[in-house]
Chain A
């Protein structure tokens, strides 16, 4: 398995609180991604990074921010969590977005109450 660790694996938080999810890789891959998975929607891209301090928005970026200060770490922050952000979040990595598969972490189940 690709060396990707997501933390925490499960979290319950209250509406309006900030939440940070962490993705750590040991593969030295350039590209890192955050997806959310919701029934019927598959996985939707939130943000991605193509290098240290280089990030860009995905399809569903509203309410989320990211940071990448080191190659191995990619943080996803919900500034003020809402119930609509209850989801399973997956981090993925790839060496190249052009036709190369992404490797996924185990996921973080976030519940906003």
Chain B
């Protein structure tokens, strides 16, 4: 079985501040991990993915995430928030056993001017 927990359903940061969105997972086999972003009234768009290569993964729009096996975490960061980053972010896990994507509950990021 696999699961994802996103700590904080809402996160608010000031423009220019560090963005940190937390994701912890559980998986009985080595996981594949994903971050998706959803803008209002849109579908989900892939930000980045970890598939057992480098533990630090760089994605689009300046986001990156680090896979830490010892902490079962895959937190998403961005050094400097922009207003355009305001959206909902979802962490997801699958595995090489063919399990489907399992999503966390999502974190809504608000960026204050």
**A residues within 8 Å of B by Cβ?**
4, 33, 35, 40-45, 48, 58, 90, 92, 97-99, 101-107
Query: Which of B38-46, B65-73, B77-85 is found at the contact surface with chain A?
Result: B38-46
- Listed in ascending order, the chain B residues whose CB lies under 8 Å from chain A are 4, 6, 9, 32, 34, 36, 41-46, 49, 51-52, 90, 94-96, 98-106
Sample 19 A-B pairs with CB under 8 A, ordered by A number.
A4-B43, A40-B9, A42-B104, A42-B105, A45-B100, A48-B100, A92-B101, A97-B101, A98-B94, A98-B98, A99-B49, A99-B51, A99-B94, A101-B46, A101-B49, A102-B101, A103-B46, A104-B44, A105-B43
Q: Is the CB of B103 within 8 A of A97?
A: no
The number of residue pairs between A and B whose CB atoms lie closer than 8 Å in the complex comes to 61
Closest 4 CB pairs of A and B: A42-B103, A104-B43, A99-B32, A104-B44
Most buried by B among A33, A44, A90, A101: A101
Check if B42 sits within 8 Å of A106, measured CB to CB.
yes
A92 CA / B94 CA spacing, docked (Å): 15
- Contact call B42/A99, Cβ cutoff below 8 A: no
Partner of B100, one of A40, A41, A58, A105: A58
